[in-house]
Amino acid sequence: MISGSDLRKGIIIELDGTLYQVVDYQHVKMKRTALARVKLRDLSAGHTIERSFQSDDKLVRARLDSRPMQYLYNDGGLYHFMDVESFEQIGINRDRLGDALNYLKEGFTVEVSSYKGEIVDIELPVAVELEVTDTEPGFKGDTATGGSKPATLETGLTIQVPLFVNEGDTIKVDTRTGEYLERSS
């Protein structure tokens, strides 16, 4: 059990028999009490709701089993992962992965969280290295601070990169924001 004042972004709670992840948290001080205004994402259906909890409200924190798994391949809407310890393979539906699809590359290791045997969340590393497959060429005189251009990465994600990045370069991308971090090669 946790109190309403202990809620933070990323925490998963069980509310009315459904698992919710805290997407956004805001602490609000009232005259005599404090409130936690939170935006919650339903982990099974995917929609978001907004709720307010008083600081002394008791909530059930979900205990998740987390294990490292390696992404192998996909066949249509099913993405296959292998447990790096037991070599057991599981398939995860495309809808369950959400934005993680933009950063998944064969061979990547991710943390897969499950609750009562059901996959509920996939945690990516903070930064991943991806190859640029399509971008406009840089021209002589372009500088590192002179602007940006769109680039398509090997996973199909399109992001803004500095003008000096070329096709075939490997770059680091922040998986939380989808922003360019640095060139790797």
Find out whether 176 and 125 touch, Cβ atoms under 8 Å: no
Asked if 4 and 55 touch (Cβ cutoff 8 Å), the reply is: yes
Which range scores top for mean pLDDT: 38-42, 61-65, 81-85?
81-85
Please tell me the CATH superfamily of domain 65-123, with its number.
Nucleic acid-binding proteins (2.40.50.140)
pLDDT digit string, tens, across residues 20-32: 888 888 888 877 7
CATH class (in words) of the domain with range 2-61: mainly beta
CATH class of 127-183: mainly beta
Mean pLDDT of all residues in 63-74: 90
Interacting residues of 87 by C-beta distance below 8 A, sequence separation 6+: none
What was the pLDDT predicted at 22? 84
Q: Does 71 have pLDDT greater than 90?
A: yes
pLDDT digits (tens, 9 = 90+) for 131-181: 999 988 866 555 555 678 899 999 889 999 988 888 999 999 998 888 999
